[in-house]
Amino acid sequence: MALALPRLLPAAVLLALLLVATSEVAWGQDTERIEGSAGDVLEDDPVGRLKVYVYELPTKYNKKMVAKDSRCLSHMFAAEIFMHRFLLSSAIRTLNPEEADWFYTPVYTTCDLTPWGHPLPFKSPRIMRSAIQFISSHWPYWNRTEGADHFFVVPHDFGACFHYQEEKAIERGILPLLRRATLVQTFGQKDHVCLKEGSITIPPYAPPQKMKTHLVPPETPRSIFVYFRGLFYDTANDPEGGYYARGARASVWENFKSNPLFDISTDHPPTYYEDMQRSIFCLCPLGWAPWSPRLVEAVVFGCIPVIIADDIVLPFADAIPWDEIGVFVAEDDVPKLDTILTSIPMEVILRKQRLLANPSMKQAMLFPQPAQPGDAFHQILNGLGRKLPHDKSVYLSPGQKVLNWTQGPVGDLKPW
């Protein structure tokens, strides 16, 4: 019979029960392989299944941007940089474009930063348009499909809609020139204008080496029931408090700031990574966008992710069984969060922890340097490989045009 956590027990007693029950996983004695097709997909090897041609662009589109502002290498949008570096030395790269299955354009649209380290969404569309104009005028491959056999990494908050505020992102829509391409993006939400069919949803970048240096001994007990560090309100951009995170973060704070089972704060302590490894549940609420690096951090540190983001499309959903490793809480149900989490049977918690302890699960969420088998780079390639072969209908007749190069906001049409 399932053992549910008794909600009315004092917090100290409840935590003590959990510490005893989860000791087998805390000591690293038990992991569990993902069964069925998801496990097979997670362990796929893309080498030999596809070939990618990497366009050589002027360095103003990539390397010079990083040289100008090295913060691009460590922020959560950095997947576009490391994907480029990975492909340059990857076994799936081909120097012969005639034999390529896919074409990749290395353009760093999130590397033009404000003084506070945020990407400037106003320049990103112009940078992307300029790069596409360059490849279409120097090679014949874009023009024969208008991008249908090309993929682009667009790790902005709302992908190729290129804005951090959802309302404005929806108004903009996906950059018209990218509407036939495959988009590799962190943003994922069902039935959303900023997620086109066929996109590959990836995890945001979290620094693997930094995380590795903060690992605690495997026998460290998980003495924190629920953990979260981050903003609850964004008073600078949302002074009235109802727009940011659709009110979900504010609800977490107002309902549980005094609850002893919830270790939540706006402070970001130097022991943040260690604290996640001492926690049973880690809250992963939406912010301006549905996704955040907390999802990666929770999986890597074995903390059960509590996903509060309605209709989110999660990274590599065909390979990672999110329903089995995480807990989904509707945004409207946040006030019942304590009841929901304390009602989960102990055996369910233990199984989620065993699955999270699987090294292949953690590896799939990371962009390590150098790359390693099964990591996020390889999961992206697996996703591209599963889209092959291209349907013959993607190839256009000579002179045929589908995309409108003059469509979009006037500001996007300015030269870059």
**pLDDT tens string 192-239:** 999 999 999 999 999 999 999 999 998 999 999 999 999 999 988 887
Mean predicted confidence (pLDDT) in 167-188:
96
Q: Quote the CA–CA distance of 210 and 83 in Å, as a whole number.
A: 19
Please, are residues 145 and 151 in contact by the beta-carbon 8 Å criterion?
no
Q: What is the mean pLDDT of the chain?
A: 91
User: Terminal CA-to-CA distance of the chain, rounded, Å?
Assistant: 64
Mean predicted confidence (pLDDT) in 33-59:
82
- Per-residue pLDDT band for 402 (boundaries 50, 70, 90) equals very high
Q: Which residues contact 339 (CB under 8 A, 6 or more apart)?
A: 7
Residue 2 in this model has a pLDDT that exceeds 50: no
In this prediction, residue 13 carries a pLDDT of 54
Angle value at C-alpha 111, between 318 and 129, nearest 5 degrees: 80
Decide: helix, strand or coil at residue 382: helix
Which amino acid, 56?
Answer: E
- Between residues 340 and 26, the one the model is more confident about: 340
Please, are residues 119 and 111 in contact by the beta-carbon 8 Å criterion?
yes
Residue 38 in this model has a pLDDT that exceeds 80: no
Mean predicted confidence (pLDDT) in 181-191:
97
Radius of gyration of the chain (CA): 22
In this prediction, residue 136 carries a pLDDT of 97
In this prediction, residue 28 carries a pLDDT of 45
Token duo for residue 117:
């380290």
Q: Quote the CA–CA distance of 4 and 83 in Å, as a whole number.
A: 43
Least confidently predicted of 19-28, 282-291, 307-316: 19-28
- Per-residue pLDDT band for 19 (boundaries 50, 70, 90) equals low
Least confidently predicted of 21-25, 112-116, 229-233: 21-25
Residue 24 in this model has a pLDDT that exceeds 60: no
Residue 6 in this model has a pLDDT that exceeds 80: no
φ/ψ (deg, to 5) at 285:
-80, 160
- Between residues 331 and 19, the one the model is more confident about: 331
Residue 27 in this model has a pLDDT that exceeds 80: no
Mean predicted confidence (pLDDT) in 90-110:
97
> Could you report the per-residue pLDDT of 335-371, keeping only the tens digit for each?
999 999 999 999 999 999 999 999 999 999 999 999 9
In this prediction, residue 399 carries a pLDDT of 86
Mean predicted confidence (pLDDT) in 263-269:
96
Q: Which residues contact 303 (CB under 8 A, 6 or more apart)?
A: 222, 227, 276, 277, 279, 280, 281, 282, 297, 356
Token duo for residue 413:
């049409």
Q: What b/e string do you get for 392-414 counting C-beta neighbours within 10 Å, with b at 16 or more?
A: eeeeeeeeeeeeeeeebeeebee
φ/ψ (deg, to 5) at 325:
-100, -20
Token duo for residue 225:
């029931």
Is domain 208-365 annotated with CATH 3.60.70?
no
pTM: 0.91
- Per-residue pLDDT band for 121 (boundaries 50, 70, 90) equals confident
- Between residues 31 and 219, the one the model is more confident about: 219
Q: Which residues contact 35 (CB under 8 A, 6 or more apart)?
A: none
| Overall size of the chain counted in residues | 416
- Per-residue pLDDT band for 3 (boundaries 50, 70, 90) equals very low
- Between residues 45 and 249, the one the model is more confident about: 249
Give the CB-side neighbour count of residue 154, counting CA atoms within 13 A: 30
Please, are residues 128 and 177 in contact by the beta-carbon 8 Å criterion?
yes
Please, are residues 248 and 334 in contact by the beta-carbon 8 Å criterion?
yes
Structural domain spans, the chain: 41-205+376-391, 208-365
Helix/strand/coil percentages in the chain, nearest 5: 40, 10, 50
For a pLDDT cut of 90, what percent of the chain falls above it?
A: 81
Element (H, E) at 225: strand 224-229
Residue 137 in this model has a pLDDT that exceeds 80: yes
CA distances 95 to 150, 251, 335, Å, are 16, 53, 56
φ/ψ (deg, to 5) at 320:
-110, 120
Mean predicted confidence (pLDDT) in 133-162:
97
Q: 328 forms bridges with which residues in the sheet?
A: 307
Cite the DSSP H helix spans in 104-244. Answer: 124-138, 141-145, 166-172, 208-212
For a pLDDT cut of 70, what percent of the chain falls above it?
A: 91
Burial class of 237 by CB neighbour count within 10 A (0 to 12, 13 to 18, 19+): exposed
Q: Quote the CA–CA distance of 150 and 135 in Å, as a whole number.
A: 11
Q: What b/e string do you get for 240-264 counting C-beta neighbours within 10 Å, with b at 16 or more?
A: eeeebbbbbbbbbbeebeeeebbbb
